[in-house]
Structure 1
Amino acid sequence: MHKHSYIFITFLSIIGLLVSSCQQQTAQSDEPQQTATPKDSTEQLVLLLSPDQMKTIDLDTTSLKQTTIRKNMLLMGKVSVSPTHLTSLSSVVGGHIKTLHIIPGQRFSKGQVLATIADMQVIQLQQDYLTAKADWTSVKENFERQQTLNAQQATSDKNLQLARAEFQKLNATVHALEQKLRLLHIDPTTLQADNIRQTIQIYAPFSGTVNKVFVNTGQYVTPTDIICELIDPRGFILQLNTFEKNLPGLQNGQKIAAYTNDNPKAKSTATIINRVSSLDDDGAGIIYATLDQPNPTWVTGTYVNADVAVNNYIVNSLPQRSVVSFENKQYVFVKTGESSFQLHAVDIGESSDGRVEIRNPAQLADMPIVQKGAYDLLMAMKNKPEE
């Protein structure tokens, strides 16, 4: 009997707990639920004018148009040198480097001695010339004598022909040796037996900079060996990177202003000589420009910027008064109803003749954009009381 009573009491307790739990859940479900509604982030950019405000603000609208403006285009690249002004210097004869007066990066002047070369060939060439010159004098005299005798019929035509042939052959030899001496910078008109020298000098053909040196003192060089590489700064060219979208504004003969980041105020004028001939897979290419005047502070590899003034650059544009500044950004008002307007952020570019370039035109295509009264709308929006 007691056992059954205990089971019954326990069962009633469980039922009581279940009923109590259900009542609590029912009470909770009867309470109203609160749903968080996020604040619209664009709500502050929408302006609704009252009828009185619409009467006081003089408004008219426009739309995006394609126009031509003057635009300053920025290109970047580096200084290079034209192959016609990059000179590889060698000796016309073989020999040992006796002295070397240059190092890479050194500036030099036209006519400056860069190196001296010594060799037996130099001595032999001078000896050959002096010997041929001495023989030439006697052969010339013999030829003139044969001409006189032949005119008097005192000698045969054959003797005259032999004398003429010998003179012409030796005359060619002498002139050839003279040219060889001049290549060695030896003046044949002043060469005598007592001033024969054993060295020749390598002179700078122009004023410029030593780019590379390939030899050292005592080294034997042949005429095919390059002694040094010289740069003529008059041949500096600018290799400037550009993209396909910029090509319409770049033409041969166009002037540009080039400068370095270290000294942006010191600008050098240059002229475009070669537009892009091909583009890579990313739509990029290179244009070339020559400096109007050499810049002595630049060297090959110097990174430069270049400003290009483009007078016929086609862009999507709006009147400048359509664009207003708000919280350090640029916006335009788009008319969305009779008295409602919404701000749209714009990315502006160059300005010219009262118009400004819009770089993100897709979102504003065919939309009525406020031009007259845009600033008044901005003031009305700033003075709008917060709700």
Structure 2
Amino acid sequence: MRNYLFIFIVFFLSCKQKEEKEMQVETSSKDTIILTEDQLQHLTLSTTSLSLQKIDVSQSLSGKVVANAADYVSISAPAGGFVKKINFLPGQRFQKGQILVILEDVSYIQIQEDFLKNKVQLKTNQLTYDRQKELYAQKSTSEKVLQAAESEYQSSLVLHRSLSEKMRFIGLNPETFTSEKITRTVEIRAPFTGIINKVLSNTGKFLSPSEPIFEVINPQGFLLEIKAFERDLPYVKVGQTIEYHTLTQKASSDKARIISIGSMVNEDGTIPIFAQPFQKTDLALGAFVQTLVHTENREVEVLPTTAIQNFENKWYVFIEHQKGTYEMVEVEIGQQDATYTEIKNASRLQSYTIVNKGAYQLLMGLKNTADQE
């Protein structure tokens, strides 16, 4: 004959009044609880069973905004000169075509002077060459004179093209340049829309040719570097779309595509994953981001999450053997969505009825009994 141990557990009996009522429950083993008919009437229980469901699993991973090495660009002086004015500070954004810095030097004047003198000489030599061609056609001049005129014209044309490129190199347009526009300053303009990362010079400093003035970043190449642990890797793949938001824009999210998954583990045990944002938003380099990685829907055997209880870092469900008799069984859980949880060791629960609503009360009753033994 069974020896039953009687204990008191608390049940909520009324919706109008949260009144505690003592109940005696019986246990036939440390994992089984037996309720009387009267106890069942005062305890709201519902049951469920295993089912196949497709669950949309989301992994929350953290990361930060980084830039490709190719997106770090040095802005240098095209020719030697003194820094007259720097228009931007580190961290500031600039637009394509904006003046970043103004340089000045007498050497710029010399380039402009040489260009204008050559422009006049080229026109003179061209007229002379054209005249000599007409005279030669009329046999009024010798071939030697024609060749000399042609040589002078070609030489001045080569020099003109060379000086035109020098003018473009220092930011001046040779097509529209006239003597009224001669200046000792040149303006270095932004080649694209970007961000100042470093200012490497100062007002009054003399810069040698090609010496860098700024280090700028092209934000079109910004990437998300996401930290993933080894356990997360089965749920991510190249080409997968993820959602992300910055810590200052939690209310809205944007999307990015995973373009690379690292093959080496960092010192902190994480593996880097790189994603490229679909839209070029105003991301700040180094800003922290929170990402949501949606895995593919998988059809797995699940139970409602409310049926699964945690006790001492283990997960349990209650099997209903018959009305009033319930056995606690440990389960191994997998992925979860908002409603269901995957049961990895589902084979041992096949064909059983599982307690859904009321599972927590059964757990408390059983464990309180064990504590008093």
Q: TM above 0.5, one fold?
A: yes
Q: Deviations over 1:184-224 (max 9, x none)?
A: 22122332333310010111222332111010000011223
Percent of aligned positions that are identical: 28
Does the residue aligned with 1:311 lie in a helix, a strand or coil?
Answer: coil
Letter in 1 for 2:303: P
2:126 equivalent among 140, 144, 151 = 140
Q: Deviations over 1:287-332 (max 9, x none)?
A: 2112222232x31111111111111469x75332783347899522
| More off after superposition, 166-175 vs 115-124 | 166-175
1:187 equivalent among 173, 186, 189 = 173
> 2:96 and 2:188 mapped to 1: Cα distance?
11
Question: 5+ unaligned residues in a row in structure 2: which ranges?
Answer: 1-26, 39-44
TM-aligned CA distance change 1:344 to 1:217, over 3 Å: same
Letter in 1 for 2:342: E
1:204 equivalent among 169, 184, 190 = 190
* Contact persistence 2:317–2:354 (CA under 8 A): no
* Contact persistence 1:123–1:198 (CA under 8 A): yes
Residue 260 of structure 1: aligned partner: 246
RMSD after superposition: 3.9
More strand per residue: 2
> 1:381 and 1:247 mapped to 2: Cα distance?
35
TM-aligned CA distance change 1:317 to 1:200, over 3 Å: same
Does the residue aligned with 1:133 lie in a helix, a strand or coil?
Answer: helix
Residue 104 of structure 1: aligned partner: 90
* Contact persistence 2:79–2:210 (CA under 8 A): no
Does the residue aligned with 2:120 lie in a helix, a strand or coil?
Answer: helix
Quote how far apart the aligned CAs of 1:75 are. Answer: 1.7
Does the residue aligned with 2:111 lie in a helix, a strand or coil?
Answer: helix
Q: TM-score, normalised by structure 1?
A: 0.73
Residue 159 of structure 2: aligned partner: 173
* Contact persistence 1:143–1:160 (CA under 8 A): yes
Residue 305 of structure 1: aligned partner: 290
Quote how far apart the aligned CAs of 1:102 are. Answer: 1.5
| More off after superposition, 75-84 vs 148-157 | 148-157
Quote how far apart the aligned CAs of 1:43 are. Answer: 9.0
> 2:28 and 2:332 mapped to 1: Cα distance?
18
Residue 25 of structure 1: aligned partner: none
* Structure label with greater radius of gyration: 1
Residue 26 of structure 1: aligned partner: none
* Contact persistence 1:45–1:343 (CA under 8 A): no
Letter in 2 for 1:268: D
Q: TM-score, normalised by structure 2?
A: 0.75
Q: Please show how residues 83-122 of structure 1 align to structure 2 within 5 Å.
A: 83-122=69-108
Letter in 2 for 1:170: S
Letter in 2 for 1:237: L
User: Is the aligned partner of 1:77 residue 2:63?
Assistant: yes
> 2:104 and 2:357 mapped to 1: Cα distance?
87
TM-aligned CA distance change 1:99 to 1:371, over 3 Å: farther
Q: Deviations over 1:46-71 (max 9, x none)?
A: 11558999xxx9989769x9x87421
Quote how far apart the aligned CAs of 1:170 are. Answer: 1.4
> 2:342 and 2:97 mapped to 1: Cα distance?
55
2:271 equivalent among 257, 274, 285 = 285
> 1:148 and 1:222 mapped to 2: Cα distance?
49
Quote how far apart the aligned CAs of 1:383 are. Answer: 7.2
More helix per residue: 1
> 1:382 and 1:277 mapped to 2: Cα distance?
46
Residue 303 of structure 2: aligned partner: 319
User: Is the aligned partner of 1:150 residue 2:136?
Assistant: yes
> 1:371 and 1:158 mapped to 2: Cα distance?
111
> 1:77 and 1:102 mapped to 2: Cα distance?
29
Q: Please show how residues 211-226 of structure 1 align to structure 2 within 5 Å.
A: 211-226=197-212
Quote how far apart the aligned CAs of 1:45 are. Answer: 5.8
* Contact persistence 1:321–1:372 (CA under 8 A): no
2:356 equivalent among 364, 367, 375 = 375
* Contact persistence 1:336–1:342 (CA under 8 A): no
Letter in 2 for 1:367: R
> 1:258 and 1:61 mapped to 2: Cα distance?
36
Does the residue aligned with 2:211 lie in a helix, a strand or coil?
Answer: coil
TM-aligned CA distance change 1:319 to 1:119, over 3 Å: same
Letter in 2 for 1:357: E
Residue 24 of structure 1: aligned partner: none
Does the residue aligned with 1:224 lie in a helix, a strand or coil?
Answer: coil
Letter in 1 for 2:177: L
How many residues get paired?
A: 335
* Contact persistence 2:307–2:357 (CA under 8 A): no
Does the residue aligned with 1:176 lie in a helix, a strand or coil?
Answer: helix
Question: 5+ unaligned residues in a row in structure 1: which ranges?
Answer: 1-41
> 1:381 and 1:87 mapped to 2: Cα distance?
63
TM-aligned CA distance change 1:370 to 1:261, over 3 Å: farther
> 2:260 and 2:326 mapped to 1: Cα distance?
52
Residue 38 of structure 1: aligned partner: none
> 1:95 and 1:347 mapped to 2: Cα distance?
69
